[in-house]
């Protein structure tokens, strides 16, 4: 864990300097016009204490800004030291953190903690477009799906005259929430919440997120059969025949890596996902992906992970509904 005696967790000026150093390693950039020229950006300093601390003036667009403008912390009334502390807590807790825990640890209201938690998860969300697909030539991507929690709206079946759909012989998987996950062996993972797992929806996730030059490893589920042919190679293990791993030359065919990603997520979500609205599930997935992709096995420290999250908090625009929520946090 981080050293919680560090002044960045208690002192507003130190917290602000910490945020500025992470967001602006080469000096402040104007979030309004993109100006980076240090000669035309000035710190607003006056004798009067009427102005906000950490305020900058951009001579290019005549606008003012602080380090939180254009980030998930924008318009927040929560002290910056508490934000910094919260980012570190989320980065360091393997199983994540509930709004209740955050509320107790930060001494903010539950509602504020809830909004902070969701904004931190939003910050942790990877920009899939700019980071490109997983895998590639000579690389292995494992794909699998898992079922968690309970759907908010039961799935109905036309054959059953609009009554909830149940899968014969399966333990109500049809009424659970569906998560599809991909992981590059030795690399990054991405999990997605799907309303329905069909060949088409699963294909969409695969082709958008896993390079088709990769070798795909899955179980024998028919969801992957057709899409698998679009990949350089597709190997399956037959879980129904109790086959979990198979050696082929110098490679071992299995989907244990993605199952492990799912299991960390599920353990973290115990006691949380009943309360996690389906509309927010994608943010929890992003949070767990974020930590997995910066796992300690890759020699990423808690502090580096927290700094990454803070860096990624910038440039995440708040949507209208979220900015209305902002008054709570």
For Zn ion, the binding residues (CB under 5 A) are: 30, 32-33, 35, 58, 60-61, 63
Residue 57 CB, nearest approach to Zn ion (Å): 9
Least Å distance, CB 30 to Zn ion, is 3
Task: Pick between residue 58 and residue 269 the one whose CB is nearest to Zn ion.
Answer: 58
Task: Please state the closest distance from residue 71 (CB atom) to Zn ion, in A.
Answer: 16
Give the three-class secondary structure for 209. Answer: helix
Residue for token pair 């979220």 = 322
Q: Where are the alpha helices (DSSP H) in the chain?
A: 12-23, 80-92, 99-106, 110-124, 128-131, 199-209, 225-228, 256-269, 281-292, 302-312, 320-325
Q: What is the C-alpha to C-alpha distance for residues 214 and 207, in angstroms, rounded to an integer?
A: 11
In this complex, which beta carbon is closest to Zn ion, that of residue 61 or of residue 264? 61
Residue 35 or 256 with smaller CB distance to Zn ion: 35
Q: How far is the CB of 29 from Zn ion (least distance, A)?
A: 9
Residues composing the chain: 329
Q: Is 84 helix (H, G, I), strand (E, B) or coil?
A: helix
3-state class (DSSP) for residue 279: helix
Nearer to Zn ion, 69 or 264 (CB): 69
Both tokens of residue 178? Answer: 């569906």
If you write DSSP's letter for every residue of 39-61 in order, what string do you get? GGEEE---SSS-SPTT-EEETTT
Closer CB to Zn ion, residue 66 or residue 218?
A: 66
CB of 76 to Zn ion, least distance (A): 22
Alpha carbons 287 and 301: distance in angstroms, whole number:
16
């Amino acid at each position: 864990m981080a050293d919680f005696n560090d002044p960045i967790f208690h002192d507003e000026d130190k917290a602000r300097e910490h945020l500025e150093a992470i967001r602006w390693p080469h000096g402040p950039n104007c979030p309004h016009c993109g100006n980076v020229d240090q000669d035309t950006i000035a710190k607003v300093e006056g004798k009067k204490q009427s102005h906000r601390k950490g305020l900058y003036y951009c001579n290019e667009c005549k606008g003012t800004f602080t380090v939180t403008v254009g980030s998930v912390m924008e318009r927040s009334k929560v002290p910056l030291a508490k934000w910094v502390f919260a980012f570190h807590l989320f980065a360091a807790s393997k199983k994540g953190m509930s709004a209740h825990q955050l509320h107790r640890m930060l001494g903010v209201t539950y509602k504020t903690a809830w909004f902070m938690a969701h904004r931190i998860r939003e910050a942790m969300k990877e920009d899939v477009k700019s980071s490109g697909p997983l895998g590639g030539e000579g690389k292995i991507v494992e794909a699998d799906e898992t079922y968690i929690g309970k759907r908010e709206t039961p799935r109905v079946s036309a054959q059953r005259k609009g009554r909830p759909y149940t899968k014969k012989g399966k333990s109500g998987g049809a009424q659970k929430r569906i998560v599809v996950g991909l992981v590059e062996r030795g690399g990054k993972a991405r999990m997605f919440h799907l309303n329905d797992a069909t060949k088409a929806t699963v294909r969409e996730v695969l082709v958008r997120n896993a390079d088709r030059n990769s070798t795909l490893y899955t179980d024998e589920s028919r969801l992957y059969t057709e899409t698998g042919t679009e990949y350089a190679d597709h190997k399956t293990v037959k879980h129904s025949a109790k086959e979990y791993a198979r050696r082929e030359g110098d490679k071992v065919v299995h989907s244990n890596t993605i199952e492990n990603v799912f299991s960390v997520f599920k353990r973290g979500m115990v006691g949380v996902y009943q309360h996690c609205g389906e509309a927010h599930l994608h943010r929890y997935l992003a949070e767990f992906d974020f930590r997995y992709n910066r796992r300690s096995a890759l020699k990423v420290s808690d502090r580096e992970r927290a700094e990454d999250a803070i860096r990624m908090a910038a440039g995440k625009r708040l949507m209208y509904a979220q900015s209305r929520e902002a008054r709570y946090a």
